[in-house]
Amino acid sequence: WNSTTYDTYDYVIAGAGTAGLLLAVILSENPDITVCVLEAGADGTHETNITNPELRGTIQHTQYDWQFWTSPQPGLIDNGTMGAQPVPRGKTLGGTSAMNWMIHNTDSRVQLDIWESLLNLTGWNWESLSTAYRQSETMYGPPANIAQDFTYDPSVHGGNGYIRSVFQRSVLSLLTDYLNPTLLNSGYRVPPDRNGGDAVGGGFLPLAINPFNYTRSYAGSVYSVAKSRPNLHVRVNSQVTGIIWEHRRHGHRHDHRHDAKATAVGLKYIDRKSEPESTSCVLGRQIILSAGCIQSSQILELSGVGDPEILAPLGIEPVVNLPNVGVGLRDPPMMNYLPISFELNATFSGDEFIQNYIQLESARNMLSDDDFAAASEWLNSTDTIPGLPNAQLSVFKALWFADEPLIEMAWQFQVANVTPYNLIPLSQGTVHINSSDPLAPPAIDPNYNRVMATINGTEVEWDMWFLAKASQFWQTKVATTAPMRDIITSVDPPFDVPFEEYFSTVKQRTGTSEHLTGGNPMLMREEGGVVDTNLLVYGTSNVRIVDGSVFPYQPSAHPMGLTYALAMRAAQLLQEMSGGDGLTASLQLLQSNVSASATAVFGDVTDIGPCRF
């Protein structure tokens, strides 16, 4: 890292992850702005297991993964872990964007407009977030030899952003020649591009891959282009342990009058590079937490921002009474332990590991008329759900009745496997510290599958019921419709069984989707919020959160694209607030709405041998 250090940086960021590192790179485009980022993990940008897209997933359970687990989950099956789920989170430059599957898409227009219309988040809507998404992206069209399999609309993609995006380079003909027509014959849509706000339907979604050398394009690779900037300092192996408050620095107690805001002057961290490890600090005018949905709230709580009833027993002096810290954590349940699989009597071309065919569907398209009516009746007659803020119930109802995507069917392998995924669970949980030791993992409780619903007079577990009903309905349709019907020799699980039997199979196979978000929702304070629409933590004057923990409810897209959009929008807000001479280059270019027109060139890559999955 750079040798120059500053007494006080303009911005100090905790976490060089998906959002934090991109934000740092944008802010430091202005040479007059100084930025320091503290990252707990080591630099993994040279690791093939991170850079090679075909090896995605392989850094899980290594030093580049925090290797967290949830608490026992009574809503899931005890497969030897009491339902507890692994929580993979990247611990390296780029954070979770270094380990994820690189699916890169926006959310739908209705979903994002609801942030503003139903949740009063002024300025946060489809227009601002999809613009920010486009600003983050450079999209490349597919090379000519596979172009017929991917139709996309350049005007809804970016042409000048840091994250490169492209379709995969090999196409499993099962998906184009059999699945596409089957979906069309079953009444589903296969639209040309779902980035323009209408997300329902089946088809390939782009991947964050640099097509020139076929490597992962992620926050870590973005940093490599900004590395030599003298005004950007990224310190790896530096784990943030708390916020330094101005009043403490001067030996005062915080003034707890309602309007008195706590001011931060820096971050404390453990420097893992020093021998022995030592505690150090970095001072800054603006503090940004980008430690992700598990640890941004951990840093707040360790620093006295949270629920006094949680902090006091741990001997932590409260600084801001903010009981919403660590609430609204959720992980959409996914049938990923054993997905639906088909045995097929046909040969296919294009069997590379990365296939990325994602079908996003509304409840109406995934339930029988009777089930949709019964579930709608329950929703209509339900005004409150324990543990779910009313605003979020209203959001869910709005999405349900507007036929917005609520279920995903994901084909991601070179084999005929499809994974059903309940995109917006009604069950939400918490993440809280249970020790004042900053190195102790927090207690993670997404509270899977705990909301009960009464459907046709029977009590059901809502999230799992919806997932199982949708899967059985979809599987029945696809397996009995040509041309898929004509090549299927067997299906697992069997779908023509009583629902109770199908439900128990789905439950047996369902767990984490690895898409945790929330914990520090951007909402009005009285509605359960932790940050306001300027991403400022309530009760503080200069502490912000910029990561997936602030999403007010689960995006029904994969969260990475929206996380990059959040970083871009945060950069814009910060630049506007600092009253600088205008926006830096990448934000201005974004506003010119450049459309992607370049064509992908897939570089040669070394043969990596058989897939490890």
Q: Which of 15, 44, 441, 529 binds ligand FAD (CB under 6 A)?
A: 15
40 is an interface residue for ligand FAD by CB under 6 A: yes
Determine the interface stretch with ligand FAD among 95-103, 189-197, 275-283, 530-538 (rule: CB under 6 A).
Answer: 95-103
In single-letter form, the type of residue at position 545 comes to: I
Q: Which of 11, 13, 17, 331 binds ligand FAD (CB under 6 A)?
A: 17
Q: Which of 169, 515, 544, 569 binds ligand FAD (CB under 6 A)?
A: 515
264 is an interface residue for ligand FAD by CB under 6 A: no
Cβ 290 to ligand FAD shortest distance, Å: 6
Toward ligand FAD, which CB reaches closer, 479 or 536? 536
Cβ 485 to ligand FAD shortest distance, Å: 30
Cβ 473 to ligand FAD shortest distance, Å: 25
Toward ligand FAD, which CB reaches closer, 59 or 594? 59
Q: N- to C-terminal Cα distance for the chain?
A: 36
Structure tokens at 48: 């093939």
On whether the CB atoms of residues 546 and 570 are closer than 8 A, the answer is yes
97 is an interface residue for ligand FAD by CB under 6 A: yes
Structure tokens at 220: 């870590």
Cβ 355 to ligand FAD shortest distance, Å: 13
521 is an interface residue for ligand FAD by CB under 6 A: no
User: Comparing C-alpha atoms, which of 172, 203, 236 is closest to residue 36?
Assistant: 236
331 is an interface residue for ligand FAD by CB under 6 A: no
Toward ligand FAD, which CB reaches closer, 358 or 366? 358
On whether the CB atoms of residues 523 and 391 are closer than 8 A, the answer is yes
Q: Which of 51, 239, 475, 572 binds ligand FAD (CB under 6 A)?
A: 239
Q: At a CB cut-off of 8 Å and minimum separation 6, what does 213 contact?
A: 603, 605
In single-letter form, the type of residue at position 225 comes to: V
297 is an interface residue for ligand FAD by CB under 6 A: no
Kindly tell me the burial class for residue 38, based on how many C-beta atoms sit within 10 Å of its own C-beta (0-12, 13-18, 19 or more).
Answer: buried
41 is an interface residue for ligand FAD by CB under 6 A: yes
User: Comparing C-alpha atoms, which of 486, 488, 538, 549 is closest to residue 516?
Assistant: 549
Q: Which of 39, 107, 137, 149 binds ligand FAD (CB under 6 A)?
A: 39
Other CB atoms within a 10 A radius of the CB of residue 315 amount to 7
Residue nearest to ligand FAD (CB): 17
Determine the interface stretch with ligand FAD among 13-21, 225-233, 278-286, 420-428 (rule: CB under 6 A).
Answer: 13-21
In single-letter form, the type of residue at position 140 comes to: Y
Q: Which of 330, 450, 558, 569 binds ligand FAD (CB under 6 A)?
A: 558
210 is an interface residue for ligand FAD by CB under 6 A: no
Q: Which of 10, 11, 12, 14 binds ligand FAD (CB under 6 A)?
A: 14
Give the span between the Cα atoms of 59 and 391, in whole angstroms: 37
470 is an interface residue for ligand FAD by CB under 6 A: no
Structure tokens at 571: 């950069």
User: Comparing C-alpha atoms, which of 153, 172, 167, 171 is closest to residue 214?
Assistant: 167
DSSP 79-147: SSSTT--EE--B-BTTGGGGTS--B-----HHHHHHHHHTT--TT-SHHHHHHHHHHHEEE-BPPGGGG
Cβ 237 to ligand FAD shortest distance, Å: 9
Toward ligand FAD, which CB reaches closer, 55 or 346? 55
Q: Give the DSSP H/E element, type plus range, for residue 13.
A: strand 9-14
Toward ligand FAD, which CB reaches closer, 299 or 344? 299
Give the span between the Cα atoms of 38 and 22, in whole angstroms: 13
Other CB atoms within a 10 A radius of the CB of residue 489 amount to 9
Structure tokens at 38: 């503290």
295 is an interface residue for ligand FAD by CB under 6 A: yes
**Site residue total, ligand FAD (CB under 6 A):** 40
Kindly tell me the burial class for residue 228, based on how many C-beta atoms sit within 10 Å of its own C-beta (0-12, 13-18, 19 or more).
Answer: exposed
Cβ 186 to ligand FAD shortest distance, Å: 26
18 is an interface residue for ligand FAD by CB under 6 A: yes
Determine the interface stretch with ligand FAD among 28-36, 293-301, 319-327, 603-611 (rule: CB under 6 A).
Answer: 293-301
User: What are the residues binding ligand FAD (CB under 6 A)?
Assistant: 14-20, 38-41, 88-91, 95-97, 99-103, 239-240, 290-293, 295, 299, 514-515, 547-548, 558-561, 563
